[in-house]
Chain A
Amino acid sequence: MSKSMKYAAAVLAGCVPAASAFAAWELNMPVGITELSREIHGLHMLIFWICVLIAVVVFGMMIYSIVKFRHSKGAVPANFDHSTKAEIIWTIIPIAILVGMAVPAAETLIKIEDMRDSELTIKVTGYQWKWHYDYLDKNVSFFSTLAEESNRARQKGSGIDPSTVQNYLLDVDNPLVVPVNKKVRVLLTAGDVIHAWWVPALGMKRDAIPGIVNEMWFRAEETGVYRGQCAELCGYDHGFMPIVVEVRTEEEFEAWLQSKQADGAETATAANSTDTSKTPVNGAASDATAIVAKAE
């Protein structure tokens, strides 16, 4: 269904390839790999088609009037200036359509806010300009920053063509790893300014706000690597703090978790020191690390 819709949208827009492998000329929201993202995509398409339908009627009337009632064709103007019946009709019908849209939207919203029965909780903390992930009660935590290769290429006047860099600006040193088919609860907060954690394939975005703990959840249904970005303006390098989530099978995830745990306390130290060397130009990394040290 959604593939054909995408294709239809592409044809409507008069554009060349619908969904190529590079996702270039992409026109629509991707479907995602969670129940919520599918429902949200469904809602998105539902409202889209309702809008298209209304547009056909309204724009159709406008175009009909423009073509049919031209002064240059000698059209003689009528003199009516209201019609109570018509006005009641075009007040009632939109209300009915809106109710029809609000019901499924409310149902999805209720699901989104249902945080019960989570199987893994990860605390995500936003810093200028990197993410910190903490697997609660698992003794695993680390920073995640823009990958070295992207970081070199994105410097002004670097002379490196971004198209030669794999996953330019969407790659990190340490991705977030989660198990497939498990309800993961994400707690969000920030150490300095407001950030927003967003991976489109997971279907959700929520703000990470200093002094406040927000929550959201997802259950990834397919293994793979999914990418996203900080979505709330957070200063100088807001454009350069991507998010990468690796969804693995449960066994692989457990093995990864154990190897991380084995690293023990060293993990944090190592992550911190690589951070400092990696964080670009502004030298804010050391401050951020200091804040973390205080917080912990």
Chain B
Amino acid sequence: MSTAHTHAHAAGHEAHDHHGPEKGWRRWLFATNHKDIGTMYLLFSLVMFFLGGAMALVIRAELFQPGLQLVDPGFFNTMTTVHALIMVFGAVMPATVGLANWMIPIQIGAPDMALPRMNNFSFWLLVAAFTLLISSLFVSGGGPAAGWTLYPPLVLQTGNALPLAIFAIHLAGASSIMGAINIIVTILNMRAPGMSLLKMPVFCWTWLITAYLLIAVMPVFAGAVTMLLTDRFFGTTFFEAAGGGDPVMYQHIFWFFGHPEVYIMILPAFGIISEIIPTFSRKPLFGYDAMVYATAAIAFLSFIVWAHHMFTVGMPLAGQLFFMMATMLIAVPTGVKVFNWTATMFKGSISFEPPMLFAIAFLFLFTIGGFSGLMLGVAPADFQYHDTYFVVAHFHYVLVPGAVFAIMGGVYYWLPKWTGHMYDMKLAKVHFWLSVIFVNVLFFPQHFLGLAGMPRRIPDYATQFADWNMVSSIGAFGFGLSQLLFVYIVFAAIRSGERASDKVWDTARPQGLEWTLSSPPPYHSFEVAPEVK
């Protein structure tokens, strides 16, 4: 790290006399620099990725063969619940926020985020949130075990972990909302002269739309869990039929948040892929305007499809028909995105550096997740698929080789820019191939399990499901262990490595403003706004 620091420091001096980074812990605790905060978000996300991953391995170890060998069913339920909460709110979302912090200011030619102190607050609030959530594992009555969806009445049987988990969600939600406000204000006010909205890099566009989704739905989720809190401790009966409430109402409120939440995780990933593919295809992004409109269309549709998560609760026929058709409609703008990425590669001149490998894997595997999503959207078929491993396979395909691969591709894409060092490309390719093979060994058999009738969220299963479960568990351990390589590659590059040029990638593209800065960029960049033609 020392070289990176001195370089950044020196560059900082040139640009501005007394504004280098602070020394020691003060630099991080009181951080207001978008690059420092971005780094902290990314490291936090990495820690959570491994913590959530360890929980997934507990699950897969127990499911390695039929019978209960390692954990009791209560702890198993806690693992499925907390694994999901950590991966969604602790790993994927903070990773995309970290990328936003690092990249948005230097992609739009701004000196920093618009609201740097709020930026600091929103990061440290996240740390507080996860301290609370993880401490909920150690209180009497055990950790949260009702699934990450926290359906009442089951969730109201949780012991002392419930208020801890709910406050953790409140804090994480407040953190997300602040982050979202910051991103919107930065993008709308601090673009370099000449950079009209439709000249922005697509990553900024996807994040702008994501930020609006966050502001729209995080308060809804906060409201839902607050009602759980008062139902549990203050005698209200929002979700209890005996008191005039309705347990299904919770599901409607939750999924009104929950479906846009899916896109909050995947839209920034779309943005990253839209940056990587043109660079390594040496060709401009195909259909930029269509990409932006498709993203906006997906965001809009995400608000009117929520009940496809709950076809089995017994809705009126008209409701089922509406939600089925609205859901199928999402395939259209999503299809446009996949076709445009393919058209970007078509007649390009493609090379296969690690970011491109991850982007190509994303194209194939996210599309498979899209197909299973389409199948799940067909209501009558969903009556068979619902709450089986088919669903587990579906959302892991869109989230792991989807969102997570895009994030890793993004890290491999911008890491030389951040650190000024090239990483070990050979090793990164090994990491890619291990990941892409094991992720399929892990999740593809889960389609078969679900179709054959295995429900999700069960700690033990009938013997006919044994074979594919064993395969899936082997894949899980292979995938989990492969990620240690990622950590090694990233930290080795932070420490040392071949010097990266300003452009980093020798492809005549990339053309964004971030590539006009030195690698690593100065601590304070674009103090004088660049001109965009």
Contact = CB atoms under 8 A, between A and B. Distances in A.
A113 B315 CA distance: 10
Contacts of A204: 383
B342 A110 contact: no
Interface stretch (A116-124, A177-185, A226-234, A253-261): A226-234
A48 to B, nearest CB: 7
B453 A30 contact: yes
B336 A87 contact: yes
B290 A203 contact: no
Interface in A135-182: 153-158, 160-163, 167-170
Contact of B374 (A47, A76, A81, A188): A47
Given A23-B464, A110-B317, A209-B248, A98 B331 contact: yes
A77 B343 CA distance: 12
B154 A233 contact: yes
Interface stretch (B346-354, B484-492, B496-504): B346-354
A78 B464 contact: no
Contacts of B154: 193-194, 233-235
Contacts of A64: 346
Nearest to B390: A29
Contacts of A102: 324-325, 328
Contacts of B283: 77-79, 81
Contacts of A77: 281-283, 347-349
B290 A229 contact: no
Contacts of A62: 342, 345, 360, 363-364
A27 interface: yes
A29 B438 CA distance: 25
Interface string A33-52: 00011011001100110010
Interface in A186-244: 188, 192-194, 196, 198, 200, 203-207, 209-212, 214-215, 228-240
B168 interface: no
A75 interface: yes
Interface in B437-489: 448, 451-453, 455-464, 466-468
Which residue, of B71, B248, B342, B380, has the highest number of chain A Cβ atoms within 10 A?
B380
B284 interface: yes
A55 interface: yes
A238 B457 contact: yes
A1 interface: no
Contacts of A47: 374-375, 378, 381
B349 A193 contact: no
B33 interface: no
Contacts of B464: 22-24, 26
A156 B284 contact: no
A43 B381 contact: yes
Contacts of B287: 81-83, 87
Contacts of A91: 332, 335-336
B314 A155 contact: no
A37 B403 CA distance: 34
B247 interface: yes
A156 B66 CA distance: 11
Interface string B58-81: 000000001111011110010000
A264 interface: no
Contact of A95 (B69, B332, B368): B332
Given A70-B351, A168-B463, A170-B462, A94 B335 contact: yes
A28 interface: yes
Interface of chain B: mostly helix, strand, loop or mixed: helix
A205 B383 contact: yes
Given A77-B281, A112-B383, A236-B74, A206 B312 contact: yes
A251 B462 CA distance: 32
B242 A205 contact: no
Contacts of A234: 154
Contacts of A44: 375, 381, 384
Contact of B452 (A26, A80, A90): A26
A106 B331 CA distance: 18
A82 B290 contact: yes
A114 to B, nearest CB: 9
Nearest to A163: B463
B446 to A, nearest CB: 12
B462 A98 contact: no
B246 A40 contact: no
B417 interface: no
B68 A154 contact: yes
Contacts of B321: 106, 109
A105 B380 contact: yes
A162 B453 contact: no
A204 B71 CA distance: 32
A105 B281 CA distance: 40
A233 B457 contact: yes
Nearest to B142: A236
Contact of B72 (A87, A113, A156, A168): A156
Given A23-B464, A194-B247, A48 B375 contact: yes
A91 B332 CA distance: 6
B147 interface: yes
Contacts of B367: 55, 58-59
B527 interface: no
Nearest to A200: B453
Contact of A163 (B66, B312, B345): B66
Nearest to A95: B332
Given A43-B380, A81-B288, A210-B241, A230 B461 contact: no
29 contacts: A25-B448, A26-B448, A28-B452, A40-B384, A58-B339, A59-B367, A61-B342, A65-B346, A79-B284, A81-B285, A82-B286, A101-B328, A113-B320, A153-B67, A156-B69, A156-B72, A158-B68, A162-B460, A163-B66, A206-B314, A207-B314, A212-B246, A212-B314, A229-B455, A232-B151, A236-B73, A238-B77, A238-B457, A240-B460
Instruction: List the 3 shortest-distance A-B pairs measured between CB atoms, nearest first.
Output: A211-B241, A239-B458, A214-B314
